[in-house]
Amino acid sequence: MLGLSRNHTTKIKISLWIFKIHDCASFVAEKDKRETELVVYHTDDVILCDRSQHMSIISPPTGLQFEKEIRVGNHCNTVCHYKGYTYVGLNHVAVDRIDDQGNVTSKFINLANHVISIRAFNDQLFILIYGQPYIMFVFDLNGSQIHTWNHHDENGYGDGNKISIINNQLAVADVTNSRITLYTTAGEAIRHIQCAELTDNTDVSMCECDENSVIISDYSTDRVFKFNLTSGAVEWTNTDIRDPYTVRCYGQYVLVSGGRTNQTHISIISSERGDILFKSNIE
């Protein structure tokens, strides 16, 4: 059992089987066992730090093993790993940075309000902060601000990520207007996709699944669903995971962090069907 704190990052090693398939045959030609780091920030956000870039062919994990804790600022809301650094968005209006040796740069970036989401793309950090409306900030990897724009969402404040990177564009959840907005990296709104499942009462997290769809978790209704950005349709819904806080997709698998403070759990579900493949408590 693992005790998690909102003031700590907690690294857990997750044992995975890697299957190397011979051509397109339906049998396993060779399999290797290795360990990949699973970084859990309380129940707020999760990432797999995998340097092999083969996450799309992993099988469900066989177990979780506690590795270490790293103390950062108060209340970790969201996390992003990019080029050797982990960026942690905090409730106390800052972003901490952690290198691969676990050294913390406190308040690497200071902001004016709670950090809701953070994503890295093309050597830029995209940071969504709370407000009325929400504001998107863009920084370079040295922590210098490049530009900013308003994202017209004013409700649904909650932990976990609300930004996805799809086809070199930013997809950002907007529960106030029940939609997902696509932006260029310069902040130009490309289009709005209506999503009736997003309402003022939802507490959502979102991640990219493929070039046409995102996976969305809703803590308030115990739902995880796949939403097609092209058709505007929900492709599947899973209601078997309690209190799903945040989601990350790795090819055919979706990693879901959920539960309350003393009942944290990790689930792996299929990105194609939405059924649960693995579940483990880490409280």
pLDDT at 226: 98
Concatenating the DSSP letter of every residue in 82-141 gives ETTEEEEEETTSEEEEEETT--EEEEEEE-SS-EEEEEEETTEEEEEE-SSSEEEEEEET
CB atoms within 10 A of CB 140: 11
**Given this model, what pLDDT does residue 47 score?**
55
Q: 155: how many CB neighbours lie within 10 A of its CB?
A: 17
* 2 domain residue, yes or no: no
- Across the 283 residues of the chain, what is the mean pLDDT of every consecutive 10-residue run? 44 39 27 40 47 43 63 80 88 88 91 92 95 93 97 67 92 92 96 91 88 93 96 97 88 84 80 90 64
- Nearest C-alpha neighbor of 175 from the set 133, 123, 224: 133
Question: What's the order of all strands across the beta sheet hosting 8-21?
Answer: 45-49, 28-41, 8-21, 63-71
166-to-62, 103, 230, 234 alpha-carbon distances in Å: 30, 31, 12, 17
Distance in angstroms (rounded) separating the CA atoms of residues 164 and 3: 29
Kindly state the tokens that stand for 181: 């907005």
Among candidate residues 134, 98, 104, 138, the one with its CA nearest the CA of residue 119: 138
Residue 264 included in any domain: yes
Q: Report the CATH number at residue 202.
A: 2.120.10.30
User: What total number of domains does the chain contain?
Assistant: 1
Beta bridge partners of 215: 207, 226
Note down the domain range covering 123. Answer: 8-20+34-281
Query: CB of 95 within 8 A of CB of 127?
Result: yes
Beta bridge mates, 226: 215, 236
Q: Would 178 be classed as within a structural domain?
A: yes
Query: What tokens appear for 33 in the block?
Result: 């066992």
Pair 70, 42: CB distance under 8 Å: no
Which amino acid, 85?
Y
Buried b (16+ CB within 10 A) or exposed e, 222-233: ebbbbbebeeee
Rounded to the nearest 5°, which phi and psi values hold at 55? -65, -20
In a domain, 164, yes or no: yes
The amino acid sitting at 103 is N
Structural domain contains residue 29: no
Residue 263 in any domain: the answer is yes
Identify the H or E element spanning 61. Answer: none
Task: Give the Å distances, CA to CA, from 85 to 18, 123, 181.
Answer: 25, 12, 28
pTM: predicted TM-score of the whole model, two decimal places: 0.81
Residue where the block lists tokens 């870039």: 53
**C-beta separation of 16 from 35 below 8 A:** yes
Residue 163 forms part of a structural domain: yes
